[in-house]
Every structure is written in C-alpha cells, then in structure tokens.
Amino acid sequence: MEPLLKGVIPILATPFFEDGSVDLDSQRRLADDLIEQGAHGLGVFGNAGEGYALLSSEKRELMQTIARHVDGRVPLVAGVGATGTLAAVEDCRMLEGLGANALMVLPPYYLKPDGEGVVAFYRAISDAVTIPIMVQDAPMLSGVAMPPALLARLGREVERVAYAKVEAPPTAPKITAVAGAVGEAVTLMGGLNGQFMIEEIQRGARGVMPAADMTSLFVAIWNALEAGDAGQAWEVFVRALPLIRYELQPGLGVSAAKHNLVSRGIIKTATVREPTRSLDAAGLDELAQLRKLVY
C-alpha cells in the first residue's frame, strides 16, 4: 500500500505582519500556491515555519485555519517539539483534533533519554492518537542521537510510528543504514532543505521536506527521479543549488525563504520572530542575485 506521505512536502512558512502578529490571509495564499506548484503535502510548525516561536494559541488558530482552507487537497503534517511527554501528548491530541493527518515529533531534548526513554516517549504519543507519527531524527537540533537500530525498534514496537525524517548528517549513508534496519516498517523522508535529496531518494527515501520557496524545483526533481531520469533531476538540482546552499546558513534560512516568497507576491512581509535572524542589506543583495540565477 502506498504511504500517505511521499514526494515533496514543503514546510509552510508562518507569515507575520510587520508588528509580528500572524497573517492568516498570507498563510492561506501560501498554502494554495504550494499546492498549485505540485506539493504532495504540507508541513506545519516545522523549523522552517518558526514553530519554535509560536504561541500555543497561535498554533491552534493556524492549524484550524490551514486544515479548513486546504480541505483535504493534500495531507497535513504537524510538527511537535514539546520536550515533556505529557506536553507532547497534549499537543499531538490537539493537532489531530484540529485536522492534522500526521505528526512530525522531535524526541525529548532537554533531559535527553536513553533508547528506552525514547521508545516510551513515542509510545505514549502513539497510545493517545490515531494518526501516523513521523520521528524527526535531527540530532543537530535536538542533540538526541537515534541510531538505525533504535529507529527500527520504534517502527516495530510503537504502533503509530510509520515515518522517520532523517536529518542526521551524512544523511545519505544514514538512509541506507536505516532502510536496511527497518525494511518496510517505516517510510523514510529527507530534510535539511533537500541538499542531498537525490542521493537520499536513490537510497530509499520516499520524499523530502524542504522550505516553502522552491517547491516547483523540488517537485521537478522528484518527478524526474520517479520517471527514472536522474540526469534531468541533477540538471534541476544544480540550478537550485546556490539557493539551497544559501538557505542552509544557520538562523538565516527562514528570512531568506520569506524574502523569496515576498518577491513573488505570495506573502506580504518577510518579518521573522526572535530568535530568528533577518538578512542584512548585503544579504538581501546576495539573495536577489541568487534569485536571478535560480528562477
């Protein structure tokens, strides 16, 4: 059976007005634009969407707004970064109730558990929800290492764990190792703005979850790979690479993606919330040069 989630699932940027409040009209417009570009799903509250900077009340309003507007056109994956088990369970229940089709969940990262603790954390969430769970294997963010054997155990022993987003570099060898360990129990996805998308998919990943401003390019790469045309996939990737690289700068990628979306008239402002950083004047000039090369 085909997995619910596969292909290009961009992380929705969260648009803000200049005063920092949430811009729901821009959020709806962005969702429509990504679906029109061929996105196979949408991620909500990921790191590229500044989920870490949103209030609980804003997440509730955004999830409800996005789910109603998308209305089942594509699946919605909601990110959860609560580091306490009860808090994560509560967030997951809330997001499912508001229309999420799957949950992308970081492991606990404040008091980092051992393998048994990681399994217990995801089992508690699994017991509380009825939708699939994606384990976010992002040690550069969480500081929690999840070796292939642990991801395989989660897939075998925790009922709702059906996906793993592998963001532990080097990602391509990790995809190979995890695929060998989990078999068909867990569907693998790539992240880190798609910098090794081609290698990951060739090694067994079934999709990528990048930022929201290059969706048509990632869809073109995906379509070429699905058609068996690696040469065409690389041709598109090489064109997009300068911008992919630029957006991988820690703390600046969100600002760059938002400025790209503003330049296309999709969202109104490129405002970000602290501690997210904004591009300076020189950075904006650099980004404009890259847009001319890529688009």
Q: Supply the pLDDT for residue 72.
A: 97
Burial (CB count <10 Å: 0-12, 13-18, 19+), residue 292? exposed
The pLDDT of residue 135 is: 98
Q: pLDDT at position 273, please?
A: 96
pLDDT tens digits in sequence order for the chain, 295 residues long:
678 899 999 999 999 999 999 999 999 999 999 999 999 999 999 999 999 999 999 999 999 999 999 999 999 999 999 999 999 999 999 999 999 999 999 999 999 999 999 999 999 999 999 999 999 999 988 999 999 999 999 999 999 999 999 999 999 999 999 999 988 889 999 999 999 999 999 999 999 999 999 999 999 999 999 999 999 999 999 999 999 999 999 889 999 999 999 999 999 999 999 999 999 999 999 999 999 988 8
Euclidean distance between CA atoms 71 and 31, whole angstroms: 11
CA dist 40 → 74, 102, 195 (Å):
6, 13, 19
**CA-to-CA distance for 244 and 10, rounded, in angstroms?**
13
User: What is the pLDDT, as a whole number, of residue 4?
Assistant: 86
Between CA 33 and CA 50 the distance in angstroms is: 19
pLDDT for 1 equals: 60
Residue-level length of the chain: 295
Residue 3 is predicted with a pLDDT of 80
Burial class (CB in 10 A: 0-12, 13-18, 19+), 128: middle
Q: What pLDDT score does 114 carry? A: 94
Q: Which of 102, 98, 97 is nearest to 6 (CA)?
A: 102
pLDDT in tens, 235-282: 999 999 999 999 999 889 999 999 999 999 999 999 999 999 999 999
Which run of H or of E encompasses 165? Answer: strand 161-166
